[in-house]
Each structure stands twice: as structure tokens, then as C-alpha cells.
Structure 1
Amino acid sequence: MNVLIWHVHGSWTTAFVQGPHTYLVPVLPDRGPDGLGRARTYPWPDSVAEVPPERLRDAPVDLVVLQRPHEARLAERWLGGRRPGRDVPAVYVEHNAPDGHVPRTRHPCADQDDLAGVVLVHVTHFNRLFWDAGRAPATVIEHGVVDPGHRWTGELDRAAVVVNEPLRRGRTTGTDLLPALSEAVPLDVFGMRTAGLAARLGVPGDRIRGQDLPQDRLHAAMARRRLYLHPVRWTSLGLSLLEAMHLGMPVVALATTEAVEAVPPGAGVLSTRPEALAHAARSFRHDRAAAAAAGARARRAALDRYGLKRFLDDWERLMVEVTR
């Protein structure tokens, strides 16, 4: 099967393209958002082919995977007038929780004619619950993660935090909680645009260190930290949280969105009280054996629920159903 998919979400797409198909990824000369091409810091198989738009007009495409509202019209134009959901089977993967007036947030698939006939696929049950999809056919295929292996050493008594653009995203990612939490355990914040984070938050540089690491170095750096801290208030489900669990890291996280489903008892501590998270982080910092035990349970739970085989099997069933 030839699957047209844009490179939008690197971690999710890395798992998706491990399947048994040929994946056509648009590429533009500037490698902008609509033509990023193959990933450069994620391990993608040879079955992922970069395709410029002019070669898509006559290309045999069996399924279109949409991830942003404008991609439906883009695909129709690039595919020579073939409309996703009508002339070629299509699904729309929703990675994000809704923004704005959440209880009344309508999903683009609910109202846009461009997306009529497109199956809406949520990556978490939380997403499905909070998005208003109207009459659009909707289902859930939970995340899958390419197993990085049990790499936790916890040799550094610091916590790993993974968030892109923490200053811009502010309260959404719990950036405002970091100064108080850093009093319990020093934080290493990995992600895009973390430079100057401590200074902007008014915290000494040894308590909060921002590090912009490429993906191919991230897991090794995370695994050296004693625990994984997930202070995010509002997200679908951070894949970095699941990756940390796969690494064998104990988790300390806000009990919000899908985290309450992903992290079982014994794999870490979940709470809506920042002071409870601080207490848990301090405990793991000073008790490496307890951190190791919780991390081992986190890894087992992640492999059971978010393993790559289950993820690909779920997608294979849906793809067969949509394209038959």
C-alpha cells in the first residue's frame, strides 16, 4: 500500500512508518512545514520515500493520512484533483487536545466539507472525549513507541523535563511550576528554544538547565537523570512521557489529560498538587533504589500498552477497513 503522509510529528511518524507499507512524504525545496521530507534525527526505514508535489499527480496513492486541516485541499491539488475521502481513502490523525473554549470546541472534521468522508483518528481517548466531532466517524488508536531499550541509569540526581518552547507555551506546559519544583530536584529541560530558561524564570542556572538536544541524543541524556518530570497542564499525551517510561524512568507528573491513564500505580506519582509532585521528586532523588523499581514498573506498563506491535496492528486493521 502507498500511503501519503506529511512529516508533521516526528516521534509519532517514526512509529507509524515502521509498518509494512511504502510511505510517500512530500518534500519542497525549502523543506518548510508542508514539505519537510524525511526526518534527519529520527531513524526512518528505507520504505519512506521523499516525493516532490509534481510527482504526486500521477502517483498511485492508496491512503492519505491528514494531520492538519489545510492538507485536504493541498492533497487534492497535488494529487491532480483526487479528493481525500471521496476519490482516495483518507484518515485524519488528531494529535492535539482542543484549545480555546474546550467544552464547545468543534473538530475540523465535524464542519468542513473538505473533510467529508474522512475517518477521524484520535491518539488518546482523552482527545476523543474532549473534541466535538459532530457526525464525523471517529476512533482511537493509542500511541506506539519504538522501544529505545531499558537504558535508565539514574546516575545524575536531577530530573529530566522534555518540552519544546517552554517560555512561549508558559502555563500550558507548566513552565510556571518549574521554579518551585526545582527546589526539590534540579531540572534539565530538554527541547527546542530552552536557552536562557533559568534566567527568564529568575532561578539560579544550576537549578534549571535548558538544553536543546537533537532527537538522536535525547534518550541517552534522559536516561542518566534520576526521574522524569511531566509538569504539563494541557496536552494530548506527551510522547516524551511514554519514551521515558520505555527507558525505565520513574515518572512524576501532573494528573491531567491522558497521563492518568498512561501511568499506572507504582510507576511513579501523579497528582494535581504541585507540592505532592515536589515531595515525590525529592523522594526519588534521594532513593535511587525506589526510583529504579518504579522505573522498571513504568517500562513494563509502557511496553504492554504502548508497544510498537500493538500500535501497528491497530493501524493495519483500520487501513484495511478504510481502503477495502
Structure 2
Amino acid sequence: MNILVWHVHGSWMTAFIHGRHRYLVPVDDERGPYGLGRARTYRWPYSAVEVTPDELASTDIDVVVLQRPEELPLARAWLGDRNVPTVYVEHNTPKGDVPSTRHPMADRDDVRLVHVTHFNELFWDNGATRTAVIEHGIVPPVAEYSGDLERIAIVTNEPVRRGRVTGTDLMGRFGPVAPLDVFGMGTDGLPDALGLSPDTIATYNASQDEMHTEIARRRLYLHLTRWTSLGLSLIEAMAIGLPVVALATTEVVRAVPEGAGIVSTKVDDLVDAARWLIEDPDAAQRLGQAGSAAAKERYDLDRFLFDWDRLLEETCTSR
């Protein structure tokens, strides 16, 4: 198939374009939010091809995969009057009047709505729109866990701006346990925002491969996000073999089954768990191995691509 799909979420897109299709990724001169083109910090196969809006007018498209409401009118403008099967992927938890938030694609018969977690499908009001859940898949990380640094890894974007959403206000409670290393975009100014010294919390902005290599050396992975769909960095950390300590919110309780990590809504429990893993590297290794097995089974790339192939074929056939 020729699939029109925008580059929005790098980790999800990296897995999606590993399928057997041709993925047409819009690009413009500014490389803005609707013309970002190919990724520069992820390993992408050559099946992902950059295409300009002008080129799309004469390009065969079998299916459109949307990820933002604004892409629907863009696709119609760029593709002309063609009636192309359309799928909308919802990556996010609902905002506003949860759990009564109406999805932007609710009550439509021209779009198939796909959620990336069962939690999201449950909490969005989807109306009468046909929905499906295709859980994440990940490209297996190359890095392997060593845990030789008695430090805590966190991966999050824009923790200063997003604040309570990313659990930024909770990070300082783990400072007495071990230094925190926060990886992600928009992390500048985090120590000052929390009133912590650079010795207590350090920030890094690295490519995906570099980030995997670095977090693999940290003793444990800490996930403090209160309200997110499901951070792929959590799954990647588990696959690498890091033991995870996480807030039991949204889809985390499904992603981290019993025995594969420490999850709780009581922050003191998580602080105690982090201290235990820092002090007991053998326990950290055992917990990380269990988490790695769980992540590789549930978020297998081949399963993810098979589920998507089946849904895309169903969508095109029904249209």
C-alpha cells in the first residue's frame, strides 16, 4: 500500500514504518509541524519517503493515517476530490471534562478510530465511530542493561512546562535516594525550576540510540507521569532490562504486570522501591529481566505490524 502519514510521534512512527508498505511522509521547506519529513534522530528505513503537498496531488494513495484533527482538511486539500479510506490514530489521553470528553472524530462514518491503549478507548467518548485498539510495538533497542551507575533514569519531554502532567513536582522526593538523570527535549532549566543542584538532577538531550545506551547504565527507570497515554520510553526501558518504578496511572498497570516492576499510587512506596533497587543491584537485575520479558511479549514489533496490516486491509476492503 501507499500510506500517507505525518511524522508526529517519533517512537510510534519508527515502529509503524517498519511494515511492508510505502510510507509517504509530508515535508515542506520549513519542516514545520505538518511538513516535518523524515526523522533525524531515529533510525528509519527507506520505505519512508518524503513527499511535498504539490506531489501528493498526482500520487496514488491507498489509505490516509491521521493523528491530529487538522490533518483531515489538509489531506482533502492536498488529495483533491479523491475518496481515500481514512484511519485516525489517537495517541493521547482525553483532556477537559474527563471521562466525558468527546473525541474530535466522534460520530463519523468516514473515519476508523484507532486507540493505542485500552485505557484511551475507555476514557474517550468516541460516539458511534468504529473504534479499535492496536497496542504499541517497539523496534527492539540495541542497548543492554548494566545498571553500573547508582543513578535514576527518567525520560520525558518539556517537564518544566508540563509540570504536574509529567510528575515534575515529584522528582525532588527521589533526590535523597540517588541522583536523577532526565533525558528528553525541553529539559533546560529543570534543576532551577525544582530548586535542586546539578549534582542532584542532570538533564540530557540525545538521539534515541544514544539515550538507550545511557539509560542502560542507570540502576533503574522512574516513570512519574500522571496523565499520559503510555510513554514508549517506559516500554523501551523495560525491553532494555531496566527495573521500572512507576506511578500506577493510565495504562501503566497493564504495561507493567505484577512481578515486572514496582507500580503504586503511593509515592512513598515508589521512593522505598527506588532505594531498594539502588542498594541491591542483584534485585534490580532480576526485576529488570522480568520486565524485559513482559515488554517483549506484549509490545512485539511483528505483532504490532500484523495488527496494523489487518486493520488497514479491512479498512480498504470495506471502503
TM bin (shorter chain): over 0.9
Match of 1:178 among 171, 176, 179: 171
What is the SS of the residue equivalent to 1:218?
Answer: helix
Q: Do 1:58 and 1:80's aligned partners in 2 also have CA atoms closer than 8 Å?
A: no
1:247 matches 2:240:
yes
- 1:61 aligned onto 2:61: yes
Counterpart CA distance in 2 for 1:124 and 1:183 is 34
The 5 A counterparts of 1:197-208 are: 197-208=190-201
What is the distance in 2 between the residues matched to 1:211 and 1:199? 15
Q: Does 2:25 correspond to 1:25?
A: yes
Match 1:97 to one of 93, 105, 110: 93
Establish whether residue 234 from structure 1 lines up as the match of residue 230 from structure 2.
no
CA distance in 1, matches of 2:223, 2:20: 33
Residue 215 in structure 1 maps to residue 211 in structure 2: no
**What amino acid maps onto 2:28 in structure 1?**
L
- The secondary structure found in structure 2 opposite 1:50 is strand
Q: Is the 8 A contact 2:143 2:213 kept in 1?
A: no
In 1, the alpha carbon distance for the partners of 2:256 and 2:95 equals 24
How much is the aligned-residue C-alpha RMSD, in angstroms?
A: 1.0
Counterpart amino acid of 2:103? H
Q: Deviations over 1:102-161 (max 9, x none)?
A: 1210000115xxx64100000000000000000010010000000014611101111110
SS of the counterpart of 1:109? coil
Distance 1:291 1:171 in 2: 28
Q: Give the superposition deviation at 1:206.
A: 1.0
Report the CA distance between 1:8 and its aligned residue.
0.4
**Which runs of 5 or more residues in structure 2 are unaligned?**
none
Whether the 8 Å contact between 1:150 and 1:299 is mirrored in structure 2 is no
- Aligned ranges 1:103-182 → 2 under 5 Å: 103-110=99-106, 116-149=109-142, 151-182=144-175
Does residue 295 (structure 1) correspond to residue 291 (structure 2)? The answer is: no
**1:150/1:248 contact within 8 Å kept:** no
8 Å CA contact 2:191–2:201 kept in 1: the answer is yes
Alpha-carbon distance in structure 1 between the residues aligned to 2:178 and 2:255? 23
Aligned to 1:35: 35
What does the per-residue CA deviation read over 1:185-218, in whole Å, with 9 as the maximum and x for residues that have no partner?
Answer: 2210101111221122011221111112222311
Distance 2:148 2:186 in 1: 26
Q: Distance in 2 between matches of 1:48 and 1:182?
A: 42
| 1:17–1:45 Cα contact (<8 Å) kept | yes
Cα distance in 2, alignment partners of residues 210 and 47 from structure 1 = 34
Contact 2:143/2:212 (8 A) holds in 1: no
Q: What is the identity, as a one-letter code, of the residue corresponding to 1:289?
A: D
1:266 is the counterpart of 2:262: no
Change (3 A) 1:289 1:150: farther
Task: State how far apart, in whole Å, the 2-side matches of 1:204 and 1:55 are.
Answer: 51
Deviates more, 1:26-35 or 1:205-214: 205-214
When the two structures are superposed, what TM-score results if normalisation uses the length of structure 1? 0.96
User: Counterpart of 2:140 in 1: which secondary structure?
Assistant: coil
Query: How far apart, in 2, do the equivalents of 1:189 and 1:116 lie?
Result: 43
Task: Quote the offset at 1:283 in angstroms.
Answer: 0.5
Quote how far apart the aligned CAs of 1:81 are.
2.7
SS at match of 2:245: strand
Q: Which amino acid aligns with 2:47?
A: S
Tell me the secondary structure at the aligned position of residue 268 of structure 2: helix
CA–CA distance in structure 2, aligned partners of residues 37 and 235 of structure 1: 25
1:166 and 1:182 map into 2 onto residues whose CA distance is 16
1:210-249 Cα offsets, whole Å, 9 max, x none, are: 1122223110011010000000100000000000011011
Please tell me the residue identity of whatever aligns with 2:187: T
SS for the counterpart of 1:108 is coil
Greater shift in the superposed pair: 255-264 or 202-211: 202-211
Provide the rounded CA distance (Å) in 2 between the counterparts of 1:51 and 1:150: 33
Q: Report the number of matched residues.
A: 317
- Describe the superposition over 1:30-66 as per-residue Cα deviations: whole angstroms up to 9, x where unpaired: 0000000001111111111100000000210001000
How far apart, in 2, do the equivalents of 1:238 and 1:47 lie? 25
Q: Distance in 1 between matches of 2:2 and 2:234?
A: 31
